[in-house]
Amino acid sequence: MIIIGVDPGTNFTGYGLIELDKNTYTKIHHGLIKLPSSNSLPQKLEIIYDELDRVIKYYKPDEFSIETAFFGKNVQSAMKIGYARGVSLLVAVHNNLPASEYSPREIKKSVVGNGAASKEQVFFMISTLLNLKNVKMRFDESDALAVALCHAFRLKTPSRKGKSWKDFIEAFPERIIQN
């Protein structure tokens, strides 16, 4: 199964594709959509749509995952990110992809184990989990790969109530550190 993760933004939108095969996660591709500051917001949204559409048509993912909006102090920034999220979700719908959304805290907790993890910690764990030695990427790209991994973990998590550590170990044997 191929999963695309998107970290939306109106200056940079990161995307990352991983393949989930049983208990193995492999990075397929990652990239950054750089949006010219001289462009108007509608022009930037068109670029996001066109680039994500191109990537989806080329790699043909099975699932789409995206980070939910983070509401900070700046309402204008939150709204602009909402627009970027909207066109990203529209691309998924137009390509008949099931779309899932995850909060920044949920993504960090699933990948790092700490919902307040720094971007550097997320980058380190993405590099470790996907075995990306000496791979250059921006935080927007590692965040997008984290979104995709979060979704992969969610797909594998046992859905019944009363989850135990045994269930977790069976679902994620690759996440257990052996001494």
Calculate the average pLDDT of the chain: 89
Q: 3-state DSSP helix/strand/coil percent for the chain, to nearest 5?
A: 50, 20, 30
Please pick, among 7, 51, 63, 141, the residue that the annotation labels catalytic.
7
Say whether 150 sits in a helix, a strand or coil: helix
Stated as kind and residue range, the H or E segment containing 27 is: strand 24-34
User: pLDDT of 18-74, one tens digit each?
Assistant: 999 887 899 999 999 999 999 999 999 999 999 999 999 999 999 999 998 766 667
pLDDT value for 133: 86
Q: Is position 143 annotated as part of the catalytic site?
A: no
> Does CATH number 3.30.420.10 belong to domain 2-175?
yes
Q: Is position 50 annotated as part of the catalytic site?
A: no
pTM, entire model: 0.85
Please pick, among 51, 140, 141, 143, the residue that the annotation labels catalytic.
140
User: pLDDT of 84-100, one tens digit each?
Assistant: 999 999 999 999 999 99
Our measurement of the distance from residue 177's CA atom to the centroid of its chain's CA atoms, rounded to an integer in Å, reads 24
Please pick, among 63, 67, 141, 143, the residue that the annotation labels catalytic.
67
Which tokens in the block code for residue 12? 């940079």
- 9 pLDDT exceeds 80? yes
φ, ψ of residue 26 to 5 degrees: the values are: -130, 130
Q: Is position 53 annotated as part of the catalytic site?
A: no
